[in-house]
């Protein structure tokens, strides 16, 4: 064990194991998760070589093998609980996407929630048993997040009781679905439904795309892989073109909307129910942002404790780079963010399941806020984590650039979340629609509930219009509850600014759509402020559930750092809204520095509490034992370029060049 890491762990004021239990939800969850991880570590069928040294085709093949083995092992071990299956899958895949991810994460849930009982019998069990392997084909070459703009058509033919699917333009070719390129034999295709000469908008269809047994594309189907990307080398993101391709009427998912044999359209109770799968994935991505950021912080903080560089005082040994205030300022706010997102991820998962259960019982009242919250938090957490992971990589200096650090892989595999399942700016605008609707409800005399209930107390709603008093009456920057209030005031202020600017643009005889576009910067800022408030609120409220004093103390410091760092980064909002004075902002900046010092002795123990095994991190720099340099040398020796002392290119090209000179 590296001596620096030994000292760091000995200096911590709390037991990381107790904090791991908080993150996992209970000591029993921690015990069971580790049991599953150890089962995998001891299974020779689940060990694979370092992906960094493989070609893309090899990486895809390893991923297919790993995915197929995972399915077999989950059955062999008798795992049925969704959380346990997720732990198993995450530990085997080690942060890399798998070709069956969309089958498990989107195809099966869509069948579960949108197929009729008859369709579930026909498709769900074969899909559960992997006779059918499916993907979710929504995005097209020319349209992604703007669903109404999708061009693929499904035209009903009552004479044969079939839908005819077409990709009428080059931009309508389905583009990007994971697992489509080479893995899947079915796809849930989103297409514009046309029946009796009328278009009824987007609906989902189960479309066979490859022949069972041979896996060859069916007639009328053109399908393949879209080629190398920024990351995701293991995933066969694909294209799909359909030419007058016929499927039976019964292949339209008909739990909510239906087309009768004669072509009559029966509309659903709510057209929002069609998008349930995306809401599920967005809620999952909030947790994924927490996981990936936690990994990056673990690597960067452990390495910063091991790495010695430069000098703080002349003639003294080189200090750990974690002793530099600038390094702490780079990393500790993101460590606090990782913890905040862990708690937000758990909350949103629980909220999704609760509201989904209500929907099953016919209560759709929670759906609008769920959609707004998952859209906004998906954008807020993925933008933040994306920038933070890259900051962690850069905080590791030159070695962070090497794949041996594990950080490039975390970054390239996480960054697509800013785009998929809804491009982030569009997601923020979707949240803004809900905020504007809630704001208008309050102005018409109705009370709103849930996370937007703060709008019931807007300054403009009071009988006597008044300037919002500067914050001294409630200002206590050492009180998480007081900081929730500051973020609440900021959110309500920015929502009100956006709403008033929108009204102003509309009063200038602008159409609603033009006014929306001309106010969209304000609307996104309002959504970001709303999401920031939600995160601070959930983190602060989590503290009330922590009984153990040492854990409460360290989490309280992280919560304060998260909230105060956010104020320092957005001080203009707090000053402009008269929420804080200049001297208070100065005090906030000073308090941030004090918190960096308070967290410094706890930092390594705080990342240990995330409880990532070395194989999960895939990082020489972030090893638990801290033996970085000897292992970096061993890793480099494994490069395929080192298989021969002299590379064949020397004899082919360099030798003749040198002889001519």
CA 392 to each of CA 52, 317, 630: distance values in angstroms, whole numbers, following the listed order: 20, 25, 22
Cα torsion angle, 21, 552, 475, 388, sign: negative
The rounded Cα 303 to chain-centroid distance in angstroms is 25
Write the Ramachandran bin of 278: left for phi over 0, alpha for psi from -120 to 50, otherwise beta.
alpha
The answer to whether 460 and 544 have CB atoms below 8 angstroms apart is no
Backbone angles phi and psi of 374, in degrees to 5? -70, -40
Can you list the positions of beta strands (E) in 209-237?
Answer: 221-225
Strands 134-137 and 186-195, how do they pair? Answer: parallel
SS3 100: coil
Through-space distance between the first and last CA atoms of the chain, rounded to whole angstroms: 52
Binding-site residue ranges for FAD: 139, 178
- Bridge partners, 165 (sequence order): 154, 245
* Helices 367-395, 520-543: crossing angle, 10 deg rounding: 80
Query: Rounded to 10 degrees, what is the CA torsion of 417, 420, 424, 429?
Result: -150
SS3 176: coil
Distance between CA atoms of 584 and 226, rounded to whole angstroms?
53
Catalytic residues: 421
Residue position matching structure tokens 């009242």: 365
For residues 372-394, one letter each, b for 16 or more C-beta atoms within 10 angstroms of the residue's C-beta and e for the rest, the string is: bbbbbbbbbbbbbbbebbbebbe
Q: Could you tell me which residues come within 8 angstroms of residue 442 by beta carbon, excluding any fewer than 6 positions away?
A: 448, 455, 456, 458, 461
Residue position matching structure tokens 């408030």: 533
Distance between CA atoms of 543 and 461, rounded to whole angstroms?
32
The answer to whether 348 and 253 have CB atoms below 8 angstroms apart is no
**Which helix or strand (DSSP H or E) is residue 330 part of?**
helix 325-360
Q: What is the largest CA-CA distance in the chain?
A: 92
Distance between CA atoms of 477 and 565, rounded to whole angstroms?
11
Distance between CA atoms of 147 and 190, rounded to whole angstroms?
9
Other CB atoms within a 10 A radius of the CB of residue 71 amount to 15
Q: Could you tell me which residues come within 8 angstroms of residue 18 by beta carbon, excluding any fewer than 6 positions away?
A: 548, 550, 551
The answer to whether 64 and 178 have CB atoms below 8 angstroms apart is no
């Amino acid at each position: 064990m590296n001596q620096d890491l030994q000292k760091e762990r000995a200096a911590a004021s709390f037991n990381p194991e107790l904090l791991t239990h908080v993150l996992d939800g209970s000591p029993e969850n921690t015990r069971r998760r580790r049991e599953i991880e150890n089962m995998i570590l001891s299974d020779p069928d689940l060990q694979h070589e370092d992906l960094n040294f493989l070609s893309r085709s090899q990486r895809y093949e390893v991923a297919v093998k790993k995915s197929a083995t995972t399915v077999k092992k989950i059955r062999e071990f008798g795992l049925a609980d969704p959380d346990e299956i997720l732990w198993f899958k995450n530990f085997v895949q080690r942060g890399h996407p798998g070709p069956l991810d969309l089958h498990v994460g989107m195809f099966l849930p869509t069948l579960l929630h949108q197929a009729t009982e008859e369709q579930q019998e026909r498709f769900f069990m074969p899909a559960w048993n992997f006779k059918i392997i499916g993907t979710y084909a929504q995005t097209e070459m020319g349209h992604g997040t703007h669903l109404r703009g999708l061009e693929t058509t499904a035209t009903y033919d009552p004479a044969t009781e079939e839908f005819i699917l077409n990709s009428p333009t080059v931009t309508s070719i389905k583009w990007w679905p994971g697992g489509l390129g080479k893995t899947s034999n079915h796809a849930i295709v989103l297409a514009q439904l046309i029946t009796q000469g009328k278009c009824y908008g987007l609906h989902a269809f189960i479309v066979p795309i490859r022949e069972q047994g041979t896996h060859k594309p069916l007639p009328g189907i053109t399908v393949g892989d879209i080629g190398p990307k920024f990351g995701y080398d293991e995933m066969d993101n694909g294209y799909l073109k359909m030419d007058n391709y016929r499927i039976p009427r019964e292949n339209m998912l008909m739990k909510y909307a239906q087309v009768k044999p004669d072509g009559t359209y029966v509309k659903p109770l709510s057209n929002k129910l069609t998008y349930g799968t995306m809401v599920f994935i967005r809620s999952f991505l909030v947790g994924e942002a927490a996981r990936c950021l936690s990994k990056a912080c673990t690597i960067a903080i452990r390495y910063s404790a091991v790495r010695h560089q430069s000098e703080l005082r002349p003639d003294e040994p080189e200090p750990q780079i974690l002793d530099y205030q600038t390094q702490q300022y780079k990393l500790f706010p993101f460590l606090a963010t990782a913890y905040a997102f862990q708690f937000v991820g758990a909350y949103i998962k629980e909220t999704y399941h609760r509201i989904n259960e209500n929907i099953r019982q016919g209560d759709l009242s929670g759906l609008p806020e769920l959609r707004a919250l998952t859209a906004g938090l998906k954008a807020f957490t993925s933008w933040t984590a994306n920038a933070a992971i890259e900051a962690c990589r850069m905080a590791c200096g030159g070695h962070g650039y090497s794949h041996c650090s594990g950080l490039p892989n975390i970054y390239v595999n996480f960054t697509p979340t800013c785009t998929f399942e809804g491009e982030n700016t569009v997601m923020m605008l979707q949240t803004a629609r809900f905020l504007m609707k809630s704001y208008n409800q309050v102005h018409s005399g109705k009370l709103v509930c849930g996370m937007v209930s703060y709008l019931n107390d807007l300054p403009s709603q009071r009988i006597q219009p008044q300037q919002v008093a500067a914050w001294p009456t409630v200002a206590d920057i050492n009180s998480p509850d007081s900081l929730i209030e500051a973020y609440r005031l900021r959110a309500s202020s920015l929502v009100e600014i956006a709403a008033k600017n929108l009204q102003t643009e509309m009063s200038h005889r602008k159409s609603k759509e033009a006014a929306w576009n001309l106010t969209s910067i304000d609307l996104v800022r309002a959504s970001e402020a709303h999401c920031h408030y939600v995160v601070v609120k959930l983190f602060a409220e989590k503290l009330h559930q922590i009984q153990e004093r040492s854990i409460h103390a360290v989490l309280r410091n992280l919560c304060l750092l998260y909230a105060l760092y956010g104020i320092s980064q957005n001080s203009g909002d707090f000053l402009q809204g008269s929420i804080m004075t200049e001297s208070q902002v100065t005090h906030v900046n000073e308090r941030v520095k004090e918190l960096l010092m308070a967290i410094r002795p706890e930092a390594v123990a705080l990342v240990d509490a995330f409880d990532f095994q070395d194989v999960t991190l895939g990082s020489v720099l972030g090893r638990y034992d801290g033996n970085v340099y000897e292992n970096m040398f061993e890793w480099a020796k494994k490069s395929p370029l080192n298989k021969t002392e002299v590379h064949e290119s020397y004899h082919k090209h360099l030798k003749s060049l040198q002889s001519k000179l």
